[in-house]
Amino acid sequence: MCLCFFIEMSSVFAQERKEPMLSFDDKGKYIYYEVVTQQDKSAEALKERAKAYFRSPAAPKIQFLTQDSLWIGKGKLIINKTAFVLTRPSGEVRYQLYLDFKNGKYRFWLTDFNFIPYQRDRYGNFVPATSIGIPLEQNPGKLNALEWASYLKVTAKEVQLFADKFKQTMLADTAIAIPTTKAVPVQVTKDQKW
């Protein structure tokens, strides 16, 4: 009886602690892919909501190359390392973001994850140690296996958080309002000089 109770409780806790994971695409690269349907929205309305989201200060800074209905962008995630109570950045993961819009639905996927380690410069700032990233699919070897697994875990968690925030914004009834400043007309008189 007691043994059954412990087995049942361990399976409940295991279900609650399910970690988000990235899957592999047909090329063997990590990918996060999702299709979201919104029957009442046109492709243009979905594009406007996406534009408003990426202009907001809470959104990640992504550089987009817009092409018709497919947007291609580059972004990065900062991976922090925690030791006791101190947190420091240990590197960044750069990725490609693809957004595709159609009437009634949109899809997005993140892929081409590359890890770039950080190092301290002579001023004590954390800067990229190299400009060439290491693909997350690459086998790190036995020495760095635990650290590499933590990078994968944090990347999957951050990607899931990004996806949740993006979907919530796209489902909102009103688009994100971007604060605008109004230009004040200036009266120019003849006695004013340049």
Query: Is 12's pLDDT higher than 60?
Result: no
Q: Rounded distance, CA 102 to CA 70, Å?
A: 10
pLDDT tens profile 35-87: 999 888 888 889 889 988 988 888 888 888 877 778 999 999 898 887 777 88
How many domains is the chain partitioned into structurally? 1
Identify the band that residue 194 occupies on the pLDDT scale cut at 50, 70 and 90: very low
Q: Residue range 153-165: average pLDDT?
A: 92
Single out the residue of 47, 134, 14 nearest to residue 6, CA to CA.
14
pLDDT at 101: 92
pLDDT at 180: 55
Residue 176 lies in a domain: no
Q: Residue range 180-191: average pLDDT?
A: 59
Query: Is 155's pLDDT higher than 50?
Result: yes
Q: φ, ψ for residue 95 (rounded to 5)?
A: -145, 165
Domain holding 134, by residue range, is 19-171
Residue 185 lies in a domain: no
Query: Is 1's pLDDT higher than 60?
Result: no
Residue 192 lies in a domain: no
What is the reported pTM?
A: 0.73
Residue 5 lies in a domain: no
Contact present, 117 and 91 (Cβ < 8 Å): yes
DSSP letter for each residue of 73-116: EEEEEEEEEEETTEEEEEEEEEEEEEEEEETTEEEEEEEEEEEE
Query: Is 192's pLDDT higher than 70?
Result: no
Residue 101 lies in a domain: yes
- What letter does residue 120 receive in the DSSP assignment? E
Residue 14 lies in a domain: no
pLDDT at 183: 58
